[in-house]
Amino acid sequence: MAILYDMPLYRPPSEGNNLIVQATIGCSYNRCTFCSMYVTKDYRARPLDEVFADIDAGARDWPQAHRVFLADGDALCLPTGHLIEILDYLAARLPNLSRVSAYATPKNLNEKSIEELAALRETKLSLVYLGIESGATAVLKRIRKGASQDSLAKALGRAREAGLKVSATVILGLGGRAAWEDHIAGTAELVNREPPTYLSTLQLDLEPAVYSRFIDAQEPGFEFQDDAGILAEQERLLSLLDPPRPVIFRSNHASNCLPLAGNLPKDRDALRAIVAAARAGAQPLRPRWIRGL
């Protein structure tokens, strides 16, 4: 029998061609004000026998699968021994397995020792997707991320020390019109302090289910950025980013008005020139009707 997923099921765009196994249901944190992904689910770890049965089904249907994404919202929350049992089972059932990845929260990374993270790396969990959202502590507080710039830098540093690759996402527009400069300055400071392997920018696009929760946690009079404001944020971010190690940069998520791709710091000026052209009206923006999360 094929895997029966507990819906809704989310995975990063780059995992679209890989096998997905739900090690957990929901998100153990589930309080970020902008995030609607798991509002309908109560967090729980799935028993190992259920996860193994899904891996058996996946291996039967797709024996040559070589990459696996562990869903749902933060499989890294699981105790390390439990995760290693899943990773060992994956390796036993999928002979071509080369990489396992999962979403992680900053707390997940900070609660595990570097030795535990390195042990996960050794058993092929080599990539984590981390929503940093912003590097500005005041913005992080208003979106109830449960993290500060310092705790995000610590999480990124621990992953790096353990040999894990991190794909980090930033959400343009989270500071609104009043706090966009703080949002971008703090984000650049964080990335320059502790660069992830990959950095992507998304554009704030709230689902109706979380609109009130997001607004209620903001300062009164919060105003959303329009595309012109988002492009000003993108250009400022690129101008401030100067990571001490190479970062693969993308803004190709479906929410973005202007897709970008390059390597930092090498392509920074070329990327800035594309954004400047878009701000001047010389570069078309992605039409609203084809944007989406």
Residues that bind ligand SF4 (CB under 6 A): 27, 29-30, 32, 35, 37-38, 73, 105, 131
Shortest approach of ligand SF4 to residue 186 CB, angstroms? 18
Nearer to ligand SF4, 38 or 180 (CB): 38
Distance in angstroms (rounded) separating the CA atoms of residues 247 and 231: 20
Please choose, from the candidates 250, 207, 209, 259, the residue with its C-alpha nearest in 3D space to the C-alpha of residue 231. 259
Nearer to ligand SF4, 19 or 155 (CB): 155
Shortest approach of ligand SF4 to residue 190 CB, angstroms? 16
- In the Cβ-directed half-sphere of 20, how many Cα atoms lie within 13 Å? 21
Shortest approach of ligand SF4 to residue 31 CB, angstroms? 6
Shortest approach of ligand SF4 to residue 214 CB, angstroms? 12
Shortest approach of ligand SF4 to residue 131 CB, angstroms? 5
Q: β-pairing, 198-203 with 247-250? A: parallel
Report the 10 Å Cβ neighbour count for 208: 7
Nearer to ligand SF4, 35 or 237 (CB): 35
Please choose, from the candidates 62, 43, 48, 47, the residue with its C-alpha nearest in 3D space to the C-alpha of residue 3. 62
Angle between helices 114-122 and 149-162 (to 10 degrees): 50
Nearer to ligand SF4, 38 or 52 (CB): 38
Nearer to ligand SF4, 72 or 235 (CB): 72
Distance in angstroms (rounded) separating the CA atoms of residues 278 and 33: 30
